[in-house]
Every structure is written in structure tokens, then in C-alpha cells.
Amino acid sequence: MSEPVSALVPLPPRRRIAVLISGRGSNLEALVEAMAAERWDARIVAVIANRPDAAGLAWAAARGLPTAGLDHRAFAEREAFDAALAQAIDASGAELVVLAGFMRILSDGFVRRYEGRLVNIHPSLLPAFAGLHTHRRALEAGCAFAGATVHLVTPTLDHGPIIAQAVVPVRPDDTEAGLSARVLAAEHRLYPMALRWLIEGRLALDAQGRVRPLDGQPQGLFFES
Ligand code: GAR
């Protein structure tokens, strides 16, 4: 049965985006390319990396995006790093905070500050395989399907309301490298799709705190191979 409309609490549009990365930044690239190709009414106001040598940071700077390197090793405490991070995000005027391969655990205070506007992509079908080495663990478990999940971030690592998932079949002869490359290609389709919904205010939370698209879009992408 579909939810009565009154039970849904819409998530407001958020058009100014900060993207947090730690490395390669291929999801950032996919986002920037989708925004340009589809002429989104939205803007990336900051790309911030916790590793100043992150390849994605150089890519973003070369594209003329505002970038900042904030080396977490310069901070003795996680909370101090998170406070500096929040300061950089807020100074940019960002409304939506997008984690795109950001490999730092964020403190509860940081997560609460951006509640409902902090989003992550994780390379597994959550709630299976939170944490690291997701593809290796999916292969070891004999999973027939792997994939990726876009979700709102809550203080529990790799949990939080699911916005969308991509399902990728595991091949009988799969390797960790092969599976992870195919899931990454799926991520590059999934994350821009889900972010566009968020940016344009096309999502809501239901009475159980689950994310529901207001226009009834399917929340899954299926890949054949
Ligand atoms: C992506 O596969 C992303 O899902 C994963 O890191 C990779 C970043 O790639 N994120 C996590 O594991 C977060 N728990 P990218 O830098 O090329 O976008």
C-alpha cells in the first residue's frame, strides 16, 4: 500500500553542494559531468579533501572548482579536524554535504550538524558489508549480487536511510578488482541520479524515517553484467 501523502516529510531542495573526497574522485567526476550534461540548477561550492595530495582535488582545481586540502594528520583529535571541516563547509555556503570516497569516520557532532543533508555512497548493498573491503567480503560470502548504496548519513557507520541502490551481479569467476570496477561504474550512474533527487527536493522521509521519492521513482538500478 502506498503511504498517505500527509505522512511524508519532504526534504527541502539544496542547491549549493560541498563534496568531500579522500582520493581518486571518480564519483566527483561523474557528478560534475552529470551536472554539466543535464544542466542542473545547482552548484559545487567546495571540494574538500582530507589528503592534500588527493588526485580528485587536482582534477577539481583544474576544472575551476573551489578546492581545499585539509590534512587530518595536522589535527590531534578527530573533533578538532571535524570542527575545521565544518568551518570550511559553512564558509562555502554549502547546503548539501556529499561524501564521495571520503574515508574518514565523522564524529557524532559533525553528523548531527548536517543531519538530513549529509549523504554518502558505499560500495555494497547495505545493510550488508558496512565498513571496508566490501567486494572481497561479498565474494568470500558467495553473494550472487553486489552493488552500491546511497544513503543519508547517521552516527552509525554506513547506516542511515537508503536513498537508492544499484545491483550488480557477481560472476562465477569474479575477482575483487573486476567486481569493484563494475560496481564503481554503477556508482557513477547511481550517485548523480540520487543526488539530483536530493538537490531538487524530490525526496521525503516517511513515518518510519525511510526515504521515499515524492514522484514514485524506483529506488533501484539493476545492471545486467
Ligand atoms: C567508491 O567506491 C566509494 O563507494 C567508496 O570509495 C570509492 C571512492 O572512489 N566509498 C567508501 O568505501 C565509503 N565507505 P572515488 O574516489 O573514485 O569516487
Residues having CB within 6 Å of any atom of ligand 1? 21, 23-27, 56, 100-101, 121-123, 148, 158, 184, 187
Check whether domain 15-114 has CATH 3.40.50.1470, yes or no: no
Nearest residue (CA) to ligand 1, atom 12: 122
Domains 15-114 and 120-225 agree in fold: yes
Give residue-wise pLDDT tens across range 76-128.
999 999 999 999 999 999 999 999 999 999 999 999 999 999 999 999 999 99
- Residue 73 confidence (pLDDT) above 70: yes
**How would you label 111-135 residue by residue, b for 16+ Cβ within 10 Å and e otherwise?**
bebbebbbbbbbbbbbeebeeeebb
- Residue 207 C-alpha cell reads as 513515518
Give residue-wise pLDDT tens across range 48-68.
999 999 999 999 999 999 999
> Which homologous superfamily does the CATH classification assign to the domain defined by 120-225?
Formyl transferase, N-terminal domain (3.40.50.170)
Map out the domains of the chain as residue ranges.
15-114, 120-225
CA atoms in the 13 A half-sphere facing the CB of 4: 2
User: How many residues in total does the chain contain?
Assistant: 225
